[in-house]
Amino acid sequence: MNQAGGKLKEKSHYEILDGLRGVASLMVVCFHCFEAFADENRFKQIINHGYLAVDFFFLLSGFVVAYAYDDRWGRMTQWEFYKRRLIRLQPMVIAGSVIGAALFYFQAGPLWPMIATVPVWKMLLVMLVGFTMIPLLPSMDIRGWHEMHPLNGPAWSLFFEYVANILYAVGIRKLSNKALGVLVTLSGAFLVQYLVWGPKGDVIGGWAVDHTQLHIGFARLLYPFFAGMLLMRLGKRIHLRGAFLWCSLLLVALLAMPRIGGPEHLWMNGLYEAACIVVLFPVIVAMGAGDQVRGRFAIKLCKFFGEISYPLYITHYPLIYIYTAWAIKNKVPAAQGAVVGVGLVVTAVAIAYACLKLYDEPVRKWLQRTFSTAG
């Protein structure tokens, strides 16, 4: 434990894992672009399993939280932990909500007719609630999709991220590896049961406050987050030269895989997703943690991907709302829409980078100085 001036020294990063987080974020943006042309049919979706990037994020988060904080509890209170996590995550949550509010009325149209009827005061109230990460009930919906964060849909996963961090701080951190292994096994069974024997054969969902969506959200959260913790603690690493390239290719392939099985064989796709989350994603993380980046370009690329990954994920969806409304209203062919989609991805990356450098990093530095803590 290193401590100086009342601050815990920041630990070094796993550069490859940072880079993989950026790869997954880019895949999420591409997945959301193609959703506009799927007619809400999960069997037609291109980059079909892009939503599994969220489950990969949860696994990475459990790994990184355990790595960063497991050995600090002797000199760190729960409140200090919460401060560090809030400083790391909350500024961009606020930015995502502000961007969502600024672009909200541009999303009006046949897809979301409710938007045109929403008064400005109600939209601003939803924005302010979004700053706090408190999930909205369906009665406060202002879009028509019953999202817990209707200005910025992906914020639902940050709500569950905070739940996981609280569970970790309150008691999970105290578990022995054996006890944590039992919890991971039970959580895995909970996830597999839903995937293989559930009603849809996938983990799509988690973004609304109702019994079904909360079931999905907790099924998606518990196994990967706690499995990431256990993977870090056990020290299991796979040493493979060039791991960033191979892990990136494998991750892209898994997320881009077409739907497996049809409506009559939902269990087949469920089995595929269970294999990805329970087995293959931990293997990718073990590979990424077992190697180091070599070469100036590769180091810079992983650093850039790692830096923009979270800002990109939490700010891109207001653009997706506009893009989806435009594509559906004008019945845009997928080939034509793909050209605009490339522009959307570039714009989303530019916005994320601008938010990072002009807002997120300065704000976090100020908060760290103000509250005498390290991020």
Tell me what pLDDT residue 7 has.
Answer: 54
* Structural tokens at position 54: 């969220």
Length reported for the chain: 375
For the chain, what is the HEC assignment? CCEECCEECCCCCCHHHHHHHHHHHHHHHHHHHHHCCCCCCCCCCCCCCCCHHHHHHHHHHHHHHHHHHHHHHHHCCHHHHHHHHHHHHHHHHHHHHHHHHHCHHHHCCCCCHHHHHCCHHHHHHHHHHHHHCCCCCHHHCCCCCCCCCCCCCCHHHHHHHHHHHHHHHHCHHHCCHHHHHHHHHHHHHHHHHHHHHCCCCCCCCCCCCCHHHHHHHHHHHHHHHHHHHHHHHHCCCCCCCCHHHHHHHHHHHHHHCCCCCCCCCHHHHHHHHHHHHHHHHHHHHHHHHCCCCCCHHHHHHHHHHHHHHHHHHHHCHHHHHHHHHHHHHCCCCHHHHHHHHHHHHHHHHHHHHHHHHHHHHHHHHHHHHHHCCCC
d(CA 273, CA 267): 10
Instruction: Classify burial at 361, counting beta carbons within 10 Å of its beta carbon; exposed 0-12, middle 13-18, buried 19 or more.
Output: middle
d(CA 368, CA 371): 5
Each residue's pLDDT tens digit, 154-178: 999 999 999 999 999 999 999 999 9
Tell me what pLDDT residue 9 has.
Answer: 57
373: left (phi over 0), alpha (psi -120 to 50) or beta: beta
Query: Domain limits of the chain?
Result: 13-370
Tell me what pLDDT residue 210 has.
Answer: 96
358: left (phi over 0), alpha (psi -120 to 50) or beta: alpha
Tell me what pLDDT residue 39 has.
Answer: 87
d(CA 285, CA 250): 11
* Structural tokens at position 217: 């959200």
* CB atoms inside a 10 Å sphere around CB 62: 28
Tell me what pLDDT residue 289 has.
Answer: 96
Largest pairwise CA distance in the chain: 62
Tell me what pLDDT residue 13 has.
Answer: 79
pTM of the model: 0.95
Where the chain has pLDDT below 50, the residues are 1-6, 374-375
Tell me what pLDDT residue 10 has.
Answer: 62
What's the Rg (C-alpha) of the chain?
20
**φ, ψ for residue 199 (rounded to 5)?**
-80, -10
Each residue's pLDDT tens digit, 233-278: 999 999 999 999 999 999 999 999 999 998 999 999 999 999 999 9
Half-sphere exposure of 337 (CA within 13 A, CB side): 23
Tell me what pLDDT residue 1 has.
Answer: 29
CB 51 within 8 A of CB 31: yes
d(CA 218, CA 199): 16
d(CA 70, CA 173): 7
